[in-house]
Amino acid sequence: MLTAGPGKKVGIYVAEDQHYHGSASYAAILDFLFFHGVSGATVTRGIAGFGADHHLHTTSLVDLAVHLPVKIEFIETAEKVAELLPKLQAMVGTGLIEMHDTTIVKPADNKQKQAEPERPALKREGKAKMMRIYIGENDKWNGKPLYEGIVNGLRSNDIAGVTVYRGILGYGANRRIHKDAALSLSHDRPILLSVVDTEDKLKAFMPILDQMVQQGLVVLSDVDIIKYAHNYEKAERRQEARL
């Protein structure tokens, strides 16, 4: 654990496409630092640079270069750095390691909150309605994707929550196949919005939905709500706020 006082700042430079034992070198180095107790590390990706071969690498769309510089930086005690350095040198390969003396003025606060006493989960059960809305990815409303407009509308009308799913294959009333394929130029994939709330609130939202959806399918079904919460007090406050 870092404490205020002298330390070492280490910078490790590798190429983005450089590998170590089948993984990207920067990812392998980050994992090594993490599992060996280093207090923290940051990975940054360069947009241009050159190395010992004096070959310039950039993010130009013309060359689509992936041989860009990546820097892994961390701060640790001199003793910890000396312990890790031999392995890091082996992992870096043709990369570069630099090291500077530094002073740790304020170490990061890693104190964990005091654990709450273990209590059984709070379980709530009840009846509700699930609304499923089937539309296409290309469907628009006021110039933006229809599914985004519906999500914003649900939120502004205090609907409990919604999840948006993008399908990989499907067809609708027009019997035309919509699919997600790498070689397909079509992006009109099926979209499903799943909404759960009380019947009254969902039916109150229906007139707004009628104005937004020009072609699609909306279904309502009965569901049993089962909700678990570990924090009794917060769960009660959220319930009171909604009421």
In-domain check, residue 43: yes
The proportion of the chain whose per-residue pLDDT surpasses 90, expressed as a percent, equals 43
In tens, the pLDDT along 49-108 reads 555 555 554 545 444 445 678 899 999 999 999 999 999 999 999 889 999 999 988 877
Query: For the domain that residue 174 is a member of, what is the CATH number?
Result: 3.30.70.120
In tens, the pLDDT along 10-54 reads 999 998 888 998 889 999 999 999 999 898 899 998 776 555 555
Three-state DSSP class for residue 43: strand
Number of independent structural domains in the chain = 2
Q: Is the dihedral of CA 193, 197, 203, 205 positive or negative?
A: negative
The DSSP line for 206-221 is: HHHHHHH-SS-EEEEE
Tally the C-alpha atoms within 13 A of residue 12's C-alpha that lie toward its C-beta.
29
Can you give the pLDDT at residue 106? 81
- Residues 130, 238, single domain; the answer is yes
- Residues 89, 144, single domain; the answer is no
Stated pTM of the model: 0.47
- Residues 46, 145, single domain; the answer is no
Q: Is the dihedral of CA 229, 234, 237, 243 positive or negative?
A: negative
Residues whose CB falls within 8 Å of the CB of residue 165, separated by 6 or more in sequence, listed in order? 191, 192, 193, 194
**Number of Cβ atoms within 10 Å of the Cβ of 168:** 10
- Residues 49, 11, single domain; the answer is yes
- Domain that includes residue 60, residue range: 5-104
